[in-house]
Chain A
Amino acid sequence: MMKKLLYFTFATSLLISCSNDDDPQTDPIPPAAYEKGILVTNEGPFNNGSGNITFVSEDYATVAQNIYRTVNGKELGNIVQSMGFQEENAYIVVSNSAKIMIANRYTFERVDSIKTGLVNPRYFMGDSGNKGYVTDWGDPNDNSDDYVAVLDLRTNTVTTTIPVAFGPERMVSYNNKIYVAHQGAYGQNNLVSVISGNSLESTITVGDVPNSMIISGNSLYVLCGGNPTYTGNETAGLLVKIDLLTAQVSQIFTFQTTQHPTNLTMDGANLFYSLNGKVYKLDTASISLPGIDIISGIFYALQAKDGKLYATDADDFASKGSLLIYDLSTNQQIQDFQTGIVPGGIYFND
């Protein structure tokens, strides 16, 4: 009986150890395979794993998971927070691993990495020329050490850092200036920093928790989520319009106190954003909140482009998510692709 048991245990253990194939490798794909399509950055499981990137071709015919590893044989690192582009390169910001991995944006062959001078990097923004910017929280529990790192993209090093208010997050650039939204890291902030060259030029006070921005003409739209209720100081979400020529707030649209919108994106003359499990549409010509709700769904990331809305669903944040594509003329879902774990960013390779 004991023998049998031993044999059984042994046999089962063999069986189990042979059946490990959690993430099958796809065949190597020829160079420039990731041109013309959608790239989704997947944060990956927090603390105990690696994020990755999913590619979906423009014609939806090809879907490739974990493309950086497929090409380079290596993982990106822990928490693939975001990605930015400059020239031919993709700058993949890996926050928990405190680094930026640089790859050719069309082939995803590794180019270089930046591992020095970063603590908790969040977003990358390329400037004209050889300059790049990275928002960095520093120690997220310390509100006084946040900065924007200035990168030399020829040497891929941090050349200098610009101390800024706490919680710098997303950036947009306009006319050689970088606009940094201070969402507020683990807390809440209400500023947009204006950076020019290697220095902080000014700060613009917006609403609480500015979480997304869009530039349209000479205007910067900043969507502020407002302080959530748990803060004990709940504030309404705001849509703030800034005149970029004067760097002044020109208009403020106010949500209800309990409304905390996120994910501002734009296509044509329309703004789109998420609120309470719905996507709303706003005509910039005549903004009246909350706008028209067009699609239902709790989305982690949202991007509108050329008549389509791209949205990610992170499910329970502990399993593979999905990329959903909607036709904005009918507001109907037209595609659904599996992604990696916690799909947090949607980008386009034209």
Chain B
Amino acid sequence: MKKALLSLLATAAISTTAYDASAQTQTDARVAVAITETISGYNPYADPVVLLSNVWCQVYGCVTRYDFDRNEFVPYLAETVQSVDPLTWEIRLPEGAKRHNGEPVLAQDIVHSIDYLGKNPSSGKSYLVAGWSKVEAIDDRTVRITTATPDATVPDNLAGVAVTSKALYDQMGEAMFRDAPFGAGPYKLDEVSIGEHIVISRNDGHPMLSPNNPTQIMYRIMPEPEQRVTALANGEVQIAQSVPPQLMARVADMPNAQIATTNSVEMMFLAMSPKTHPWDRKEARQAVAHAINREAIVRAILQGQADLLNGPVSAGQIGHDPEFTGTYDYNPEKARELLQSAGLEGVEVTLSTPVGRYTADRQITEAMVPMLEAAGFKVTLDTPEWATLWANVQQGKVPFYYMGRGSMIDPSRALHQYFATGGSPRIGFSDPELDTLLAAERAEFDPAARDEKMQAAVRYLVDAAPAAFMWQHKMAWGVSKGISFQPRPADQVNGWEVFVN
């Protein structure tokens, strides 16, 4: 089978955002972005945080990227990415691709980058290249990847591969990241202040840029929401990430800023480990799904800033079926009946939740407790510190918890991780039929056919209910009226998508 999935010219892929450079004067305006997450250093492979990974893609260039207008992965640094056969993918670099220092981008650089990601102890993203049995440079412009099993998620994984220079790494080692961060992306690295900020500046002449993209962008850590919003009001930043519901009205009232929202690609769910009692009974799991009044929580606590989920995915994600309206309406009587039919009325359960990790997580789970008790559960709410909860979840030690899972533009990796047999101990769910359905979607390279197979897996998963799917938060960003920026469903602020008015 030789089916090309991604054979678009890179220049065509970016044409939707590119402006006519000759018609406008280049802006010298700078834009500061207040962000929530960490800036852990110069190494582009060390930190899996989405926003930071995206900054590295702007500097070095990643092999692919997700085009939210086209709803598909398109080449970024590459010219084409195609599947040659079910186990083989080929990446072709464009003729004459150059780094910021004028050196050519070579196929050997991609091989080196993938090798570093997979094997170097400093890599925090080795999962991206797991299952790739061989990566080789065929010539200076062509890379061939051989996978152990058919894997339709390769273009998704390549979106996390920042292409660094093999020659510079061989010459300088790890110091290259700090002393010679020459990439081939639309922006250049200017400055990194660890744990504080990162500054990138425009790589003039790059085809993705237009004259009114900012000349410099500073991503500045501001962990407190009040501070991000105040800095926006004060004109210290032009974009503020993650404005919580209670501060949205304040931003909307600002004369110099406004709110821009997008849906997230993060599913929020209640996980129930079938390895533990009473979650070994499907009736108990389904009772939870019927017991939670999600509409009331979204209305009262999240102030409407979330979209209800009928499964793990929503519109715009692979596997979303608009016809599938879900099977779990809010029905406390039915929940009680299910629990009674399993002889579990009055069963004691502990609901664990992070505090401050997700929007209103504690308030939401506090509201869930009486709903679950109305269905017949006896509930204890557990609120451990995030590091403790997360370590225990990863080891499969938490039977019932409220959690989110992001990076789900292509949900395959997440669904395999949480629900496939042996995917991870987090839920410990195992169902051969679901395994078959998930394996089938991953091996399907035709997008339409894959979508159908994913939909079948989602339907089966929802019925089996190892998790009760709750909602996706709407992500609110504060945006200065001096710029135009429409946030995307992933936490990304790409310079070429920010326009100075």
**Do A and B form a real pair?**
no
Interface residues of B (CB under 8 A from A): none
